[in-house]
Structure 1
Amino acid sequence: MTGANTALNLGVFGVFVVITLFVVYRVGSRNATASDYYAAGSSFTGPQNGVALSGDFLSAASFLGITGSIAVNGYDGFLYSIGWVVSWLLGLMIIAERLRNTGRFTLGDVLAFRMRQRPVRAASAYVTLVISLFYMIAQMAGAGALIALLLDVHTSGGQAIVIAVVGVVMVLYVLVGGMKGTTWVQIIKAVLLILCVTLMSVFVLGKFGFSLSGIMEAATRNSSLGPEVLEPGVRYGGSALASLDFVSLALALVLGTASLPHVLMRFYTVPNAREARRSVVWATWVMGVFYLCTLVIGYGSLALVGSDTIKNAPGGENSAAPLLAFRIGGVVLLGIVCAVAFATILAVVAGLTLTASASFAHDVYANVIKRGQAEPKSEVRVARLTAVGVGVLAIGGGIAANGQNVAFLVGLAFALAASANLSTIIYSMFWKRFNTNGTLWAIYGGLGSCVMLIAFSPALSGTKTSVFPDVDFALFPLGNPGLASIPFSFLCGWLGTVLSREQADPAKQAEMEVRSLTGIGSGLR
């Protein structure tokens, strides 16, 4: 897979970068206001934003991590796909319309609407930075795995250089294009990704007479697990603790989507609540098609490549989709798949970087430090500087996490998002008594408990698949902390409210309720 085809593969990726950077430059040159930079002036339609939402959400975890997990763990790997599709129903029914009507640029706008502005905005910005960094680290790890396979780079230094290059390009997207440029990159990437996985699925099905059962039968013969690869329990079975770990993962996946800052921020790029709802519907259909294809690609990798080859390849589980592409389409299809995978990483990380930098600039700089008196140009300047800082941190984290399954790492980011944000969103919108003290307790309690449990879980140490496999300081038995940290966040929010003497502002609460249901007073088109 290396040698003569390396120039072709990197050439395809280079063409994508040049074209998208040109698009970003053209649309980004019209960023005249903070609204243009943060929310693209609310100028996108529901279908456009829905495709961009799917592009923002379908990350390296989906394309590389899930297909690899299916190829190695079979049925249990496909549970990631099911969880992420189902999670969009929560966003559609509860979050999308109300959030779009209440906020303006960031999640902090919603959480601080009827609370004391400065402490709540600061807390929201800090949480957004932490969640975005966790998510970006997973994408950077995916970039390292992909280039390790593509160029047969086994040294950690070589992979670190590649991760750094990816980080520099994604920062350029944000600095030059803002939300408009990033959105168009995500639309282009989503279309390419859907075409790619559909093409691969058709090729795989064609090799087995368009029989899914034929693929499954071949997969059992080419797996060290045998027929068990088609049954639940390979990874999340065999003991009560493993089953509990699956419940924790499922809870994080289903509840995390409606709490991810970079996904929630996309609702501000549409002009009204109707288009926000249409965005989620379009995104759900696009992602439904994609995740069905991951089933074919995952088991197709197992049937045509084999689990042992996948696990021993540079990049491990994350190499399943590229290996399958090379097996069924040779050098050309491999080049296309690798380019699409790189595009996936770049687009998602660019969206995350924009969200993190916007949250810091808008919530901390403009509303905490400058107390709402910041000039729009200075606010955008701070956002761009923050993007550079976030990019540096993401590169360092990606190098440290290189080699981990990116779907698993993203599952931790989902647990963080659900633990820190979901309780405050639900309480703010539906509990009249909820106050500033409860908001801070919920945010910091959920975030702190989740980070602490991750630090002392098998995700970080104690097993061969941990980030630090040679040491063991795991005290918490579950790989994903969602089962404990998400309910704890709701408990903290409730306790912080009932134990506080602070009274909620009934006028503000009524205004928020009317605005969230009707959009009246939002100040946006």
Structure 2
Amino acid sequence: MILFLTFVAATLGITFWASRQTKTAADYYAGGRSFSGVQNGLAIGGDYMSAASFLGIAGIIALSGYDGFLYSIGFLVAWLVALLLVAELMRNSGKFTMADVLAFRMSPRPVRTAAGVSTIVVSIFYLLAQMVGAGALVGLLLGITSPAGKAWTIVGVGALMIIYVVFGGMKGTTWVQIVKAVLLMSGAALVTLLVLGKFGFNLSGLLGQAATVSGPKANPESFLSPGLKYGTEAQGLAGKIDLISLGLALVLGTAGLPHILIRFYTVPTAKEARKSVLWGIGIIGVFYLLTLVLGFGAAALVGKDAITKGDKAGNTAAPLLAQKIGEEIFGSVGGTILLALIGAVAFATILAVVAGLTLASSSSFSHDLYAHVFKRGQATERQEVVVARVSALIIGAVAIGLGILAQGQNVAFLVALAFAVAASGNLPAILYSLFWRRFNTAGAVAAIYGGLISALVLVIFSPVVSGAPTALFTTADFHWFPLSNPGIVSIPVGFLCGWLGTILSKEHNEAKYAEIEVRSLTGVGAEKATQH
């Protein structure tokens, strides 16, 4: 409790300081573009290494072995897509949000409306995962086992998140992310070193014990081979397609995540944007290698039964591993301290990421929907910031309610759904806008809505929501789509809708494309992104 309260007090102090520095819309949305590449790289790492990464991936590896590592690889490889195709070009072309890039050479109101809706939907999916992780984590640390107790935990996390965003804006959120990234890397590295030390830094010894303790009794070695969770023989062809679908969503989703895209606007130059992504990928790459040891370490030392007893989806594997390894090396007091340390770090992770997500969605609502759609570009900066703060309150309340409903789901899986929605709706519109000369308003709107609606419909009628023992509604069965992840269908649908909408419309602005091409490649005029 002391460690928890210390972290909360420190981050609230940062938020209060940042609120004194936040005077303009650029301060609130982009931190005044005052962060260096290294600082923003740490913040990107902080944004990306969410509760899903730390708690969810470690849990899936601990319960499913080799197959769980797919998430680590998928999230890491996804950064190459963001680095090569999106990061610098988005920084050069936009001002505060993804919609600034899309609306530049198109009719602004329909495009901003579509981008705003998509941003809010993706952010709420992602927020959902963080809230579920918060309930599981704080429940473990405080001994709360009842759903009602975990629900109140989610309410508390949501309230803190709203305070960060309403008062701190991007400046406060970024500093919280930087502090959290340093803490998370330190905590994960410490537990990893202790686990490896326990096995004499012999990775094969660790993997062997993990298979023996947590693998299937009939064939423990299958724990270290593909096919235990995804693409199993029992699932048949549908299972193999589902695996490809999940991989597609993980690899392509990052480049369409709104809370990652707005990070590129916090640096002053394109060079710093490139540097921040390179720092981000370095930090993230090391972290996902650590999740391998954390997951298999939990499987070897804690065991599958003890992990699922604490949380059936495995979200508490990493904190339980910290407690176990601490007890074995330092005694019971050491175990308690290490559990509290990792718990506080994971809590920091959740708070920082939910703040970033809420900021992305509230910024999109105020800057895109309120200022440019409802007010037709006539809103003052002060009005925009007030609306952003009010919308943060509303979005936070929605996330709290959905988080309470989704308790018991694995948080890494919930994030994969957010990635699928981002890859289906946002990514086609962004890539077409940056690279296709013929692209127009009808294409942008069709790409966003087509991808977004197809992903949402397929998720609603999939085994994730009904018709499976692990579904959101276990007593109902209205699913007709056989895959748990919609990416393999919804991502091509998004690209197809964008292409179809474009060729069916006669609108075409060659001069505007030439201007955004120069701007995206050089950064000229980036600070004065057109206000439509």
Match status 1:471 vs 2:480: no
d(CA) in 1 for partners of 2:38, 2:100:
25
1:432-462 per-position Cα deviation (integer Å, ceiling 9, x unaligned) = 1111011111111100000000000011111
Q: Which residue of 2 aligns with 1:184?
A: 175
Task: Report the equivalent of 1:420.
Answer: 425
Q: 2:266 pairs with 266, 269, 285, which one?
A: 269
- 1:224 Cα shift? 3.8
Shift of 1:260: 0.2
Q: Which residue of 1 aligns with 2:332?
A: none
Equivalent in the alignment of 1:92: 83
Q: Deviations over 1:145-181 (max 9, x none)?
A: 1122222322111111000000000100011110000
Match of 2:286 among 285, 289, 309: 289
Task: Report matched runs for 1:103-502 at 5 Å.
Answer: 103-225=94-216, 226-237=220-231, 238=233, 239-314=236-311, 316-329=313-326, 330-501=335-506
Query: 1:326 deviation in Å?
Result: 0.8
CA separation of 1:266/1:147 partners in 2, compared to 1, >3 Å: closer, same or farther?
same
CA deviation string 1:317-340 (max 9, x = no partner)? 101111111101110000001101
Show CA shifts across 1:391-429 (max 9, x none).
Answer: 000000100001110000000000000111010011101
The percent identity for this pair of structures is 57
Equivalent residue, structure 2, for 1:65: 56
Work out whether residues 144 and 315 of structure 1, in 8 Å CA contact, stay in contact via their aligned partners in 2: no
Shift of 1:316: 3.9
Distance 2:464 2:312 in 1: 18
User: For the residues of structure 2 that align with 1:91 and 1:191, how far apart are their CA atoms?
Assistant: 22
Q: Is the 8 A contact 1:108 1:124 kept in 2?
A: yes
Deviation at residue 313 of structure 1 after TM alignment: 1.7
C-alpha displacement at 1:315, in angstroms?
5.4
Shift of 1:500: 1.6
CA-to-aligned-CA distance 1:329-380 (integer Å, 9 cap, x gap): 1100000011011100000000000010000000011111111111111110
Give deviations 1:116-142, integer Å, cap 9, x for gaps. 011100111111010000000110000
Asked whether the equivalents of residues 71 and 302 of structure 1 are also in contact (C-alpha less than 8 Å), the reply is: yes
Distance in 2 (alpha carbons) for counterparts of 1:170 and 1:523: 29
Q: Distance in 2 between matches of 1:11 and 1:218?
A: 35
Higher mean C-alpha displacement, 32-41 vs 469-478? 469-478
Q: Distance in 2 between matches of 1:454 and 1:208?
A: 42
The yes-or-no answer on 1:517 pairing with 2:514 is no
Please tell me whether the aligned partners of residues 196 and 202 of structure 2 are also in contact (alpha carbons under 8 angstroms): yes
- TM-score of the superposition, structure 1-length normalised? 0.97
Q: Conserved in 2, the CA contact under 8 Å of 1:144 and 1:403?
A: no
Give unmatched runs, 5+ long, in structure 2: 327-334
Does the CA-based 8 Å contact 2:139-2:153 persist in structure 1?
Answer: no
Contact kept, 8 Å, 1:224 with 1:308, in 2: the verdict is no
Q: Counterparts of 1:223 and 1:50 in 2: how far apart (Å)?
A: 36
Per-residue CA distance 1:260-313 (angstroms, 9 max, x = gap):
000000000001111111111101000111100000010000000111111122
2: CA distance, partners of 1:291 / 1:470: 36
State the partner residue of 1:508.
512
Moved more, 216-225 or 49-58: 216-225
Could you tell me how far 1:221 is from its partner in structure 2? 1.1
Match of 1:6 in 2: none
Residue 29 (structure 1) shift: 0.8
Give TM-score scaled by structure 2 length.
0.96
Q: CA deviation at 1:524?
A: 5.8
Q: By how many angstroms is 1:27 displaced?
A: 2.2
